Every structure is written in structure tokens, then in C-alpha cells.
Amino acid sequence: MTYLNAKKYLSSAPEQVGESRLTDLLALVGNPQKRIKYLRLAGSNGKTVCGQMLTAVLSKTSNKVGFLRMPIGEEPRENILINNEAIPFADFARLVDTVKQTLLSSDFTPTRSEIFLTVALLAFRERNCGLVIIESDHYGNDPSLNLPSPFAAIICGTLPDSDNAEINRIRAFVSRGIEEIISAPQSANAYKEITDICYSANCRLTLSSRNALTLKKCTFTGTDFSYKGEEYRLNVCGSFQLLNATIAIEALEMLSRKGFEIASSAIKEGLSKLRLAAKFEVLSVSPLMIVDSTHSPSAIPTMCDTLSEFGDAVPKKVLLCLPSSALISEYKNALTARGFTISEIYSCDESASDAILFKRNKDFVKRGLSSIDKDTVLLISGDSRFVLPLRHELLNALGMI
């Protein structure tokens, strides 16, 4: 099977089939989950970033770590990483073919997500990963909830008080025997919910501390900060990623308590060399072009605060590119409240009446590049499925790839 055919087979699988058949599918391929020690990334936002921070650090140690990013992207092999590198094209195709051939003799049809999770677990087992990080999928039924309980979980971002679905997800895997939770600071209501859940299962809870975090320096090339008296350099611009960094640091300390060998020098080196695509990523300084995958309404004000932090280095006129009318409304309110003026809005959402519509990414890039100047900032935002193809098209137009 070729990589292209593996992608087509995966995309042809149904999104939902009713009752989960993950357990049956895993049994057919030898139960790879039984040899894997994993932790779960949960929460409202920041899961992928925290996972990338953890793998960037762990790849500097003797630990072999697998990372399953969700939801499934346009290049699914890039969702399955081992020591911070996507599995090879040939390996992905071979493992998909293994699942396909196994299913020929079965009498059930698994979902796309179940097949994909199985492929990832097979890859992690094959490469003898001592630790696996699995990101929760909020875009559909998450089959990883049917795996044995993780030994630990990380709650990224502040949970909205109304997010009962995420609270129930956390309750589901904690009740099955999880040992420890690392969490971002939470509202009073969310904190009570989480502490009640942990108490019922005798689970240890650690919250990262805003009071122990100090911003030292913030530029377009990176951020210097201290946490609990230790100095760090984060190779990401914008202070709004610092909270994710503190969560990652707390999680790495937890892993050290669990027996994983992680030197403080590895933490500092991993964070200083971290590369995050579309996470307040500055593609060009003059004119200023920023790509960011913020798409949660609760995170948009924080992202806009980061623009304001750079003062006069960021022009007050904004060219805005967003996937939906709902995000346009959120961004317009947040940006205008901080003194920015929106000169043009681009979108692929036909219901966005105040936006310039585009059907092809290259059409947007051509229009955006012709409209931007030194007094304007181009901001592309939305979920990764929207921004990453645009980022690629823009980098190509700029001659950077």
C-alpha cells in the first residue's frame, strides 16, 4: 500500500458507526495498548502546544516518547510523532495496510478515528516507546477514552464553567484509576469540580502557579522567563504561551517523580530549541505577518493581548484572515477593544458578509500580499486545519520553502 492509498483508505472509513469496536480491533492486531505507558492531554486549549513542549524536552533525554496529536490532519502521518519526528511515509502505509488486511476477516467496521488510533499504537509499540502522550480529540467521538486509564493526565487551559462535556471526560478517565493530574490554574467552579473528582479517586492534583511565573523579555524571536526561581528561554514569541510552558514544566517534574530521567538542563535546552508552527509564529517582520492557530473564544483575548504587548512594533492596522463568521465577531471585538483597526477581513465562510471571500488559498495569499505594507500587520488565525495550509501557501509565495 502506498502512502496516498493509505490516506484514501483512512478517509473512506466512517466517522461514526454506533457502538465502539476499538477493543475488538486492538485484539485483532495483538493489543498494542497493553505494552504502552501513556498520559493524556485534556482541557479546552493548549493541548498540542503542551505536547510539543514535552516531546521537545524528552527528545533531549534517553527516553523514547511517542506523541499522538489530534484531530487528524491533512497529512495523518504528521499526527504520529516519535521523539518529535513524524513516522516515515512507508511505515504509516504499512501499518494502515496491516489494519486493513486484518479487518478483511472481521465482521465489523471501525471508525476512522479507531483505525487511526490503532495505527498509532502499533507504531509506538514497534519503536518501543517508553512513554506515549495522547491528545484528546474534541471534534468527534474520541476512541482513546476506551483505552485503559492513563497513569497521569494534563489539563491544558482554563476550563469554561459551562464545559460540562470536558469535565465529564476528565471524570471518566480519573474514575478508572489515574494516579496524578497536572492542571492549568482554573476558575473557582472548575477547580472545585476537579478537586472533587481527584478526591473521589485518591488522585494527586498539581496546579501550575501564575504567581511563580515572571516574564523577563519578550521579542519576535523568543521569550525569556523564570518559573519557581529557574531561568528559561522559550523559542516562541508572545507571553501567552508561558502558561503552557509552566504546565509542561510541572508535568516534567511529575514524570521525574515517576522514574523518568529528565535533567533540568534537558528542560531548558528543549524549550529553548522548540519550534511551533502557527503558534504566534512570525513569518515576516517587515511587513509583519503572524500565523496563529488560536480558535477558542476564551483564548482570543489573550492572543490579542500578546499583540498589544509588543507596543509600536506591531502596526495598529490589521489584515485579518479567519475561517468563520463566529471567529470574525470575536476577533473584531477583541482587537478594537485594544486600539487596533481592521482594514480588511478575508474568509472562506460564505456567511461572513463583512469579509472578502476566497475559495483557494493562493487567491487569499495573492490578495493579502498585495494589500499589506509596513503600516499593517497580517494576522491569520483559526484551527490548525485552516491555518496550516494557508501558512504553507504563504511560505511558498515568500520563497521560504
**Contacts with 277 (C-beta within 8 Å, 6 or more apart), sequence order:** 291, 388, 391
Q: Which phi-psi region, left, alpha or beta, contains residue 83 (left: φ > 0; alpha: ψ -120 to 50)?
A: left
How far apart (Å, rounded) are the C-alpha atoms in residues 346 and 71? 25
**Contacts with 40 (C-beta within 8 Å, 6 or more apart), sequence order:** 133, 134, 135, 136, 144, 150, 152, 153, 154, 173
Q: Which helix (H) or strand (E) holds 156?
A: strand 152-156
How far apart (Å, rounded) are the C-alpha atoms in residues 224 and 242? 9
Domains in the chain (CATH in brackets) are: 3-272 (3.40.1190.10), 281-397 (3.90.190.20)
How far apart (Å, rounded) are the C-alpha atoms in residues 255 and 250? 9
Q: Which helix (H) or strand (E) holds 10?
A: helix 3-12
How far apart (Å, rounded) are the C-alpha atoms in residues 140 and 128? 29
The span from the first CA to the last CA of the chain, in angstroms, equals 29
How far apart (Å, rounded) are the C-alpha atoms in residues 342 and 350? 19
| Contact assessment for residue 163 and residue 189, using Cβ atoms and an 8 Å cutoff | no
Task: Give me the residues paired with residue 378 across strands.
Answer: 289, 319
How far apart (Å, rounded) are the C-alpha atoms in residues 47 and 134? 10
**pLDDT score recorded for residue 297:** 86
Written as tens digits, the pLDDT of the chain (401 aa) is 999 999 999 999 998 876 789 999 999 999 999 989 999 999 878 899 999 999 999 999 999 999 999 988 889 999 999 999 999 999 999 999 999 999 999 999 999 999 999 999 999 999 999 999 999 886 667 899 889 889 999 999 888 777 787 788 788 878 888 899 999 999 999 999 999 999 998 999 999 999 999 999 999 989 999 999 999 999 998 887 999 999 999 999 999 999 999 999 999 999 999 989 999 999 999 999 999 998 888 889 989 999 999 999 999 999 999 999 999 999 999 999 999 999 999 998 888 888 999 999 999 999 999 999 999 999 999 988 899 999 999 999 999 98
**pLDDT score recorded for residue 195:** 95
Q: Which stretches of 258-324 are DSSP H helices?
A: 264-272, 300-309
| Contact assessment for residue 185 and residue 46, using Cβ atoms and an 8 Å cutoff | no
Give, in order, the Cα–Cα distances in Å from 183 to each of 178, 204, 247, 330. Answer: 14, 11, 7, 26
**pLDDT score recorded for residue 139:** 64
